[in-house]
């Protein structure tokens, strides 16, 4: 069955380190998204992509970057991890029609 | 995207129907109503969406008022596994396909 996976599921890192979170989907969806979820803020959009080599900033993109070299993957990179980036990160994908987003299981990131 | 208003929480008995309300009084003509839910520690899960007609799938039914200013998600026979946060989201489809999640409504299904 087609699916969307995230790795690692849990990560502990130190302030200042570069961290990359992986997202892989097998639906061949054009659209992919990264969200973070924190208590009191709900889900907030970090970056999104509408296709290979396309990337766009969401509402909380500072300190994060993405690149889309193929349809299946959209890795999220924290250039220099900060404690404020401790959060649960969700990846999602969708096809344009129907425009329904399907979410991965999440990655819990702790920055010490 | 138009703003939605949901009560913070509700509960229902297992086996009974759960009716989750949502107000979206500023919805535009091209905006759909989407419902997602998030079970504790899991990623959000798509439930259903609609434009103006009532919709039903294997998970739920969506009832949208004629003026489209409010809607109700119906889980016909709630189970304990339906305990989750339910998000009502209003958005247009197409190139700008971002979802904006509010606080949602916490549904607690009691035995």
Interface test with A, best of B30, B42, B90, B99 (most A CBs within 10 A): B99
Residue A42 pLDDT class (50, 70, 90 cuts) = confident
Residues of A with CB under 8 A from a CB of B: 31, 33, 35, 42-45, 48, 50, 58, 90, 92, 94, 96-106
With vertex at residue A29, the alpha carbon angle to CA A23 and CA A30, rounded to the nearest 5 degrees, is 100
- Measure the CA–CA gap between B45 and B67, rounded to whole angstroms: 27
Q: What is the mean pLDDT of residues B57-71?
A: 96
- Please list every residue in chain B whose beta carbon sits closer than 8 Å to the beta carbon of residue A48: 98
Residues 14-53 of B with CB under 8 A from A: 34, 41-46, 49
The pLDDT value recorded for residue B103 is 86
The pLDDT value recorded for residue A39 is 83
**Does residue A101 register a pLDDT over 70?**
yes
Residue B47, CA distances (Å) to A23, A53, B56, B87, B88 in order = 22, 30, 10, 10, 10
The pLDDT value recorded for residue B97 is 61
**Does residue A95 register a pLDDT over 70?**
yes
How much of chain A, in percent, has pLDDT values that exceed 90? 84
Shortest distance between the Cα of A46 and any Cα of chain B, in A, equals 11
By CA distance, what is B101's nearest residue in A?
A43
- Please list every residue in chain B whose beta carbon sits closer than 8 Å to the beta carbon of residue A44: 101
Q: What is the mean pLDDT of residues B42-69?
A: 94
């Amino acid at each position: 069955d087609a699916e969307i996976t995230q790795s690692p599921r849990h990560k502990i890192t130190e302030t200042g380190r570069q961290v990359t979170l992986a997202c892989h989907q097998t639906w061949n969806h054009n659209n992919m998204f990264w969200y973070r979820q924190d208590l009191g803020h709900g889900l907030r959009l970090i970056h999104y992509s509408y296709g290979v080599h396309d990337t766009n900033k969401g509402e909380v993109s500072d300190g994060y970057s993405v690149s889309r070299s193929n349809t299946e993957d959209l890795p999220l990179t924290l250039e220099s991890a900060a404690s404020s980036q401790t959060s649960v990160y969700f990846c999602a994908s969708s096809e344009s029609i129907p425009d329904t987003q399907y979410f991965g299981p999440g990655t819990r990131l702790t920055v010490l | 995207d138009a703003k939605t208003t949901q009560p913070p929480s509700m509960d229902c008995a297992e086996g009974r129907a759960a009716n989750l309300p949502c107000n979206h009084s500023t919805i535009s003509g091209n905006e759909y109503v989407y419902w997602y839910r998030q079970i504790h520690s899991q990623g959000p899960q798509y439930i259903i969406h609609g434009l103006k007609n009532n919709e039903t799938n294997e998970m739920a039914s969506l009832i949208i008022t004629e003026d489209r200013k409010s809607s109700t998600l119906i889980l016909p026979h709630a189970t304990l596994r339906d305990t989750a946060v339910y998000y009502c989201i209003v958005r247009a489809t197409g190139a700008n396909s971002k979802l904006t999640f509010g606080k949602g409504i916490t549904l607690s299904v009691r035995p």
